[in-house]
Each structure stands twice: as structure tokens, then as C-alpha cells.
Amino acid sequence: MHIAYHVSLIGIVVFPGSNCDRDIYHVLKNIMHVDVEFIWHKREDLNCYYDAIVIPGGFAYADRLRAGIIAAFSPVMQAVKRLARDGVPVIGICNGFQILVESGLLPGAFMRNDSLTFTCRWTMLRLNVNGSRTPFTLLLKKGTRLNIPVANQEGKYYVDDDTLKEMEKNEQIVFKYEDNPNGSLYDIAGVCNAEGNVLGMMPHPERACEMILAPSSSTNLSTNTGYGDGILIFRSLIEYLQGKQKVSI
């Protein structure tokens, strides 16, 4: 995995209070060897620059009012919305997922965890749709299990019955927990938009990319022993961007 893919540039949106931005940067730059840039929240024009956008976890604006709501109104999110409409892959992780929901890019809402406390632990997810449904799951088969940690306080996903049915029909419920850590409705861990290019997930794949960071009892489903399950999300994205590159050339 020492090939550098200079064909793509991935942007990581940084809000005041983002705190997983550098972790995502590490994974994309040092493990995936792709070009990556931080995007400060005040930028309004992102057009033509970025092939994919990551909205990292953390506590944008300290989760004031409620998680993700202030960030959703920042200039950069208006630009991200335009990119999303144009089909650019966008992934929001943890707080990034909350921001995507508050921005209206993804359906649903978040509530406090059932435990009422912050919860940090490794969970087992299952891919609930076909891998081709989103750019971030391309290399996975439906039913694939992924061992990835969560760390959140308002991580309990909720959506009304009608929307849930609609989402199920549209194959928008991308990941489900096998061991629901926060009381999310229908064990939902990640969802995508109707088009499939915008994915939000509560667990942190960037924390599960290197086996050295996995707890000793975790199971590794990746064939390459040095990598954890989370890497498959990022590899899928790169694979998708490369495929697109070939088609467009």
C-alpha cells in the first residue's frame, strides 16, 4: 500500500471544536497515501477542488444548543451541500453525522444515549445494504461485520416511522449495530441519502484502521493483518474515486 494516488484530493472540514480532523488526516495521508487538505469552516467556495469531503468527529461549537446545529449553519456547509447535490461523496463521522443531519443532508435526529452518559467502546456493525450502495462501502458485501468503536453522548439515532419505512425501502440504512451501544432506533449506526453519495455513521472508522489500535480482544476481518476493519471504508472511497477517474478519462 505504498502507491500514492495523486488523482484525488479529499477535503476534511474543520470547525472550531472538531477533534478527529487530524486523525482522519493521518489515515488518508499516511495510510492511504492520498492528497488531503483541511478546510476551515469559513470557506464558502469549494467547487471543483475536492473529489470527496470528510466531516470529522469532535464537538463543533462544543455541541452548544444541540450537537451539530451551529455547524450546520456555517458557510462551509452551504458549500458542502452544493457539492453533495453534484454527487461528490461526503462522509460525516460521529459529530460529522450529527452535522449532516442538522444540515438536512441526511434524515433523522439524535438524542442522548440511553445511558445518559458519554459512551466510548468498540462495537460490531453489520453492512445492511449492498456494498455498491455508497462510495464508502464499495469493497464490502452485504452482511459484512466491522469492529469499530463509538464515542458519543448524543448518539441515539431517531427517525419517524414513515421515514424509516421509506429509508428501508430505499436502502438508506447502511450500518446496523449488533450490540446497540446507545439505544439507536432499529439499531441504526449509519445512514445514507437517497442518492447514496452522502453517508453518516456514528462509529469512528478512522480509529479502527490499524490493528495496533484495536483492543486485544477485537476480531479483525480485514485480510491484511496490519489493518483494522475501518480501513475498508476509506479503501472503498479511494477505489470509487479511481474508478470514476478512469471513466471520466
Partner 1 sequence: MSLTEEELRYLNDALAREPTSLELSMVSAEWSEHCSYKSSRPYLKMFSTEGKHVLIGPGYDAGVLDIGDGMLLTVHIESHNHPSAVEPYGGAATGIGGVIRDILSMGSRPIALLDALRFGDIRNDNHARWLFRNVVRGIADYGNCIGVPTIAGEVEFDDSFTNYCLVDVACIGIARKDRLVMLKGDVDDLVIIAGNRTGRDGIHGASFASRTFEGEEEDRSAVQIPDPFMGKLLIDATMECVEKGCVKAIKDLGGGGLACCLSETADRLGKGMFINLDALHLREEMSVEEMMISESQERMLYIVEPSRFEEFKVIMDKYEIPFSVLGRLTDDAHLHIYYGGNEIARIKASIVANAPVIKRKAVKPPYIEYIASNSRKPEMPEYDDIADILLRLLSNPSIASKEWVYRQYDHEVGLRTVVKPGYADAAVLRLNLDYAGGEGSSYRYIAVKVDGNSKHCYIDPYNGSMGCFSEACRNVACVGAEPIAMVDHLQFGSPEDEHVFWTFVESVRGLADYGRYMKIPCVGGKVSFYNETKNGAIKPSPLVCVVGLVNDGDDGKVMKGHASRDGDILMVIGLTKDEMGGSEYYEYIHSILNADVPKVDLAYDKSTRDAVLALIRAGLVTSVHDCSKGGLAVAIAEMCIASGRGARVELSNVPHTCTRLDDLLFSESHSRFLLSISRDDLDAVNRLLSDHPVDRAVIGEFNGNSLSLEYKGSGINISMDSMLDSYSSIARLMGHGG
Active-site annotation holds for 120? no
Active-site annotation holds for 6? no
Active-site annotation holds for 206? yes
189, 202 in Cβ contact below 8 A? yes
49 binds partner 1 (CB under 8 A): no
Residue reference for cell 444515549: 113
- Cβ-based neighbours of 128, under 8 Å, separated by 6 or more: 142, 173, 174, 175, 176
Q: How far apart are CA 246 and CA 241, in angstroms?
A: 9
Q: What is the dihedral of CA 24, 147, 244, 86, to 10 degrees?
A: -70
What are phi and psi for residue 126, nearest 5 degrees?
-130, 135
Which of 133, 156, 207, 235 touches partner 1 by CB under 8 A?
207
- Per the residue annotation, which of 102, 192, 206, 209 is the catalytic one? 206
1 binds partner 1 (CB under 8 A): yes
194 binds partner 1 (CB under 8 A): no
* Closest CB 170 distance from partner 1, rounded Å: 32
- Per the residue annotation, which of 102, 192, 204, 209 is the catalytic one? 204
Q: Which is nearer to partner 1, 59 or 97 (CB)?
A: 59
Q: How far apart are CA 144 and CA 140, in angstroms?
A: 6
* Closest CB 24 distance from partner 1, rounded Å: 10
**Residues of this chain, 117-156, that bind partner 1 according to CB under 8 A:** 117-121, 149, 151, 153
**Residues of this chain, 84-103, that bind partner 1 according to CB under 8 A:** none
39, 245 in Cβ contact below 8 A? no
Residue 187 grid coordinates: 439499531
Please identify every residue annotated as catalytic. Answer: 94, 204, 206
Q: What does the binding site for partner 1 look like in residue numbers (CB under 8 A)? A: 1-2, 16-17, 19-20, 22-23, 25-27, 29-31, 40, 57-59, 61-64, 114-121, 149, 151, 153, 204, 206-207, 210, 212-213, 215-217
